[in-house]
Amino acid sequence: MVHDPVSDPAPDGPSTTPARRAPRFLELEGARNVRDLGGWPRATGGHTPFDVAWRADSLVHATDADRDRLHAVGVRTIFDLRNAVERANEPGAMHEDGRFDVQGVDLMAPLLEARHAGALDGDPFDLRRMYVDLLATGRARFLELFDRMHAAREQGAVLFHCTAGKDRTGLVAATLLRAADVPDEAVLDEYVLTQERLAPIHDRLLASVVATGVPEAAAPGLLGAERPYLEGALPHVDDALLDAARGLLP
């Protein structure tokens, strides 16, 4: 069963009630995978609030109009989850816009360090394994991110993104949704929405992935957002992570 969040025409300002009916996706000129985490059903009743937390792909190509629209929907703090190489290759201009507090939280660094030290076995390009390893090695970074998000919520809505808005962003989104009592089936429904959004920018994303040092033969396999990829990681989103994320989707 697919759990569709409630949706309606474009928003014109912040709100935290499901009756607000903001859209699932925010159509921008320079990003394809920007969406609100509001409108998903809770096991305890009701829906997650709109205009509180947004997920996205890279904002390095965001135009002036895109930044105006993000500000209009209440986004005030942006968490860039990309690693140092990604940020150096494509820094973008979001940090130059004083309306937003842009903070970097590199969720991938501990995983890359563990691989370099030989502490991890298996195929480094298997997304199922990568998600589990990312949660395990990056635990402190995830906790730091959620702590920062709680502080940032006082200023307005938060947005978090990586490059494709799929893996690191997907794990953060899944944790926020589970912490808000959204059933796992709906969490997976939300995750796979990325698949259809990335098709038009596949070549650009492929080039970005290869630029980080991923072999060309392995890179295409990293661009999917299929249900089993996240499904195996959900049991590893433990109580400590859920406790840290609880309240971010009040």
Residue 192 near residue 50, CB atoms below 8 Å: no
**Residue 103 φ then ψ, to 5°:** -120, 135
Provide CB contacts within 8 A for 196, sequence distance 6+.
none
CA distances from 108 to 17, 79, 100 (A): 34, 14, 23
Per DSSP, the three-state class of 165 is coil
Residue 170 near residue 37, CB atoms below 8 Å: no
Q: Return the number of other C-beta atoms located less than 10 Å from residue 68's C-beta.
A: 12
162 counts as catalytic: yes
Per DSSP, the three-state class of 78 is strand
Residue 57 near residue 161, CB atoms below 8 Å: yes
Q: Which of 149, 162, 171, 249 is catalytic?
A: 162
User: Which tokens is 41 given?
Assistant: 């059903």
How many angstroms separate the CA atoms of 134 and 26, rounded? 28
Strand partners, 20: none
Catalytic residue numbers?
A: 162
